[in-house]
Amino acid sequence: MPAPVFDLSYTRLPQVLYTPYQPTPAPAAIMILHNNALAKNLGIDTKWLSSGAALKFFSGQTPPDAYTPLAMAYAGHQFGGFSPRLGDGRAVLIGENVAPNNIRHDIHLKGSGRTSYSRGGDGKAALRAVLKEYIFSESLAALGIPTTRSLAAITTGETIMRQKPHPGAILVRTARSHIRVGTFQYARLCQDETVLKTLADYSIDRLFPEINAPNPYTELLSQVIEKQAKLIAQWMSFGFIHGVMNTDNMAISGETIDFGPCAFMEGFAPNRVFSSIDHHGRYAWNKQPEMAYWNLTRFAESLLPLLHADEDKAVEIAQERLAKFSEIFTAHYNHLMLAKIGLSPDMDGAPQTLSAAMSMLAAHEIDFTLFFRRLTDIAGGESEEGFLELFPQETGVKTWLKTWQKLRASKDYDPDIALAKMQTLNPVYIPRFSQLETALEAAEQGDMDAFNQLLAVLTAPFNEQKQYAELVIPAPDTDAHARTFCET
């Protein structure tokens, strides 16, 4: 059982960007989940991962010998208000693993105790929050959406107070990097261009080594803009709502990070909000592109000293790059959404057919996932009955279906290629609110069966499993009273 050889290259950055920190040892640690598939991808021995040595390492009982773990510093705009000093208040970067493909990944603990950035918090995590991030991150990964991942979940033997007492836990998560837009905002606040430049150089070397341009920082901005535009398009194409798109929750790697008040929309409403604290709909489903652009503007502002010595010229360069966000997002989103209904942008009438479908969905709050999946079933030769029963009578859905079928009968249309694409974009299973809540409640009582069942189907979301037919159907009026919380 060879132990992984972890490194910590982040410590080679200026120390103003982090604080050395040893995780608080968990008093009675038990590993309740470990992700063997992810471990294999990372080159981590699965026997080691399930061993007592791994449990002690991830629960803070055996600190690394060669380096000291750290809590990362960052700033952030939270619901539009700027906080100059946030940072890892309940997390620690415990190491970095270089995978067989030579890609470096952070090994990060959440719920490992109070740090200098905790701002009065306890630094701990409740089991339900850990399990929620575990299942959402693995669900997004299975859907093909860039995301942080979950390597293990550990109960600590503690009781954590939130709205009520909860079992304590630690999440072991991985990412290409935990560098955020807020990290660059913090570096800019240092008023030392060396700090900002060093962070940018490190980010390029680690995340964008292909950059080879006269001004690499301009290209860094372009790369981050493109990755975020495509990420938001993917979120929206699956009905995912992040819920708290603050600048400290946007990773420059283009990975989904931090799963607090997030959810997959069930009944389709473009302005759907699940967060209990988003009273004005800032981070609604249809506001996510706007908010990503807003966050990226803050990122560009942080980079201005590196873009050009003349500030006016730097602003011009930033605006030029930011202007491309809408084009990239729109093209990617339209491509994904048309592919979900088996059409393509170059087909006459396809965009109008998609627009009509979205209007129909919104008018009747039709289940987003079921609509696209049952349309996929029709494309695969099944009857229209299951699709039509999603709609109330006299909605015009039959007319829409005839238009869609007519487009699919076009001369150059290849139904097999279109179906294959639909089957990779329209899942059978998503983390449905009521199902997940039931599983989390049971898990906190010590029964992991429902959670493990959900995890099994969500990590193979495109494969229908007849024995789990009940997990396909939403509970009545779920979205009407669904609320999610940060749980920090």
CB 319 within 8 A of CB 221: no
User: Which of 45, 122, 201, 248 is the catalytic position?
Assistant: 248
302 domain residue, yes or no:
yes
**Residue 487 clears pLDDT 60, i.e. is over it:** no
pLDDT recorded at residue 123: 94
Q: How far apart are CA 31 and CA 50, in angstroms?
A: 8
pLDDT recorded at residue 166: 96
CA dihedral over 293, 299, 305, 308, signed as positive or negative: negative
Q: How far apart are CA 226 and CA 329, in angstroms?
A: 8
227 domain residue, yes or no:
yes
Active site residue 248: yes
Band (pLDDT 50/70/90 cuts) for residue 440 is: very high
Band (pLDDT 50/70/90 cuts) for residue 478 is: low
Q: pTM to 2 decimals? A: 0.96
Q: What is the dihedral of CA 53, 57, 63, 69, to 10 degrees?
A: 150
Element (H, E) at 106: strand 104-110
How would you class 334 by CB atoms within 10 Å of its CB: exposed for 0-12, middle for 13-18, buried for 19 or more?
middle
Within 8 A by CB and 6+ apart from 24, the residues are 60, 112, 113, 114, 123
Element (H, E) at 220: helix 216-237
Looking at the fold, whether 220 and 142 belong to one and the same domain comes out as: no
294 domain residue, yes or no:
yes
Looking at the fold, whether 166 and 250 belong to one and the same domain comes out as: no
Looking at the fold, whether 82 and 226 belong to one and the same domain comes out as: no
Question: What average pLDDT does range 38-54 have in this prediction?
Answer: 97
C-alpha separations of 324 from 212, 293, 352 in Å: 20, 10, 24
Looking at the fold, whether 218 and 161 belong to one and the same domain comes out as: no
Band (pLDDT 50/70/90 cuts) for residue 116 is: very high
Element (H, E) at 77: strand 76-78
Band (pLDDT 50/70/90 cuts) for residue 167 is: very high
Question: What average pLDDT does range 107-131 have in this prediction?
Answer: 95
Total domains present in the chain:
2
Instruction: Tokens for 369, please give them.
Output: 């996932």
436 domain residue, yes or no:
no
Instruction: Tokens for 59, please give them.
Output: 């629960």
Instruction: Tokens for 210, please give them.
Output: 């292909």
**Residue 277 clears pLDDT 90, i.e. is over it:** no
Instruction: Tokens for 374, please give them.
Output: 């049952």
Band (pLDDT 50/70/90 cuts) for residue 476 is: confident
133 residue type, one letter:
E
Looking at the fold, whether 161 and 221 belong to one and the same domain comes out as: no
Choose among 169, 168, 170: nearest CA to 159: 168
pLDDT digits (tens, 9 = 90+) for 418-432: 999 999 999 999 999
Looking at the fold, whether 369 and 240 belong to one and the same domain comes out as: yes
**Residue 486 clears pLDDT 70, i.e. is over it:** no
Looking at the fold, whether 107 and 229 belong to one and the same domain comes out as: no
Q: How far apart are CA 185 and CA 182, in angstroms?
A: 5
459 domain residue, yes or no:
no
**Residue 379 clears pLDDT 70, i.e. is over it:** yes
Within 8 A by CB and 6+ apart from 89, the residues are 71, 114, 115, 117, 118, 119, 121, 123, 488
Q: How far apart are CA 379 and CA 422, in angstroms?
A: 9
Relative orientation angle of helices 193-207 and 181-189, to the nearest 10 degrees: 160
Band (pLDDT 50/70/90 cuts) for residue 55 is: very high
Question: What average pLDDT does range 68-83 have in this prediction?
Answer: 94
C-alpha separations of 412 from 44, 103, 337, 406 in Å: 47, 41, 20, 12
Q: How far apart are CA 142 and CA 360, in angstroms?
A: 28
CB 42 within 8 A of CB 105: yes
Looking at the fold, whether 129 and 73 belong to one and the same domain comes out as: yes
Domain limits for position 278: 213-428+472-488
Q: Look at phi and psi of residue 453 and say left if phi exceeds 0, alpha if psi is from -120 to 50, else beta.
A: alpha
Mean pLDDT score of the chain: 95
CB 20 within 8 A of CB 189: no
Name the β-bridge partners of 167. Answer: 159
**Backbone dihedral angles phi then psi of residue 102, each to the nearest 5 degrees:** 70, 15
pLDDT recorded at residue 18: 98
CB 195 within 8 A of CB 187: yes
Percent of the chain with pLDDT over 70: 98
Looking at the fold, whether 150 and 242 belong to one and the same domain comes out as: no
Looking at the fold, whether 19 and 127 belong to one and the same domain comes out as: yes
CB 476 within 8 A of CB 367: no
Greater confidence (251 vs 162) lies with 251
Question: What average pLDDT does range 49-60 have in this prediction?
Answer: 97
Looking at the fold, whether 70 and 125 belong to one and the same domain comes out as: yes
201 domain residue, yes or no:
no
**Residue 435 clears pLDDT 70, i.e. is over it:** yes
Name the β-bridge partners of 155. Answer: 30, 169
Band (pLDDT 50/70/90 cuts) for residue 278 is: confident
Q: Alpha helices, DSSP H only, in 365-475?
A: 368-379, 385-388, 397-408, 415-425, 433-444, 449-458
CB 39 within 8 A of CB 46: yes
Looking at the fold, whether 245 and 365 belong to one and the same domain comes out as: yes
pLDDT recorded at residue 485: 56
DSSP states along 289-311: HHHHHHHHHHHHHHHHHHH-SSH
Question: What average pLDDT does range 169-175 have in this prediction?
Answer: 98
CB 200 within 8 A of CB 303: yes
Residue whose token pair is 């989904």: 256
Q: How far apart are CA 8 and CA 430, in angstroms?
A: 35
Choose among 255, 456, 427: nearest CA to 340: 427
pLDDT digits (tens, 9 = 90+) for 236-272: 999 999 999 999 999 999 999 999 899 999 999 999 9
Band (pLDDT 50/70/90 cuts) for residue 163 is: confident
CB 131 within 8 A of CB 145: no
pLDDT digits (tens, 9 = 90+) for 280-311: 789 999 999 999 999 999 999 999 999 999 99
439 domain residue, yes or no:
no
Collapsing DSSP to helix, strand or coil, 101 comes out as coil
460 domain residue, yes or no:
no
pLDDT recorded at residue 477: 65
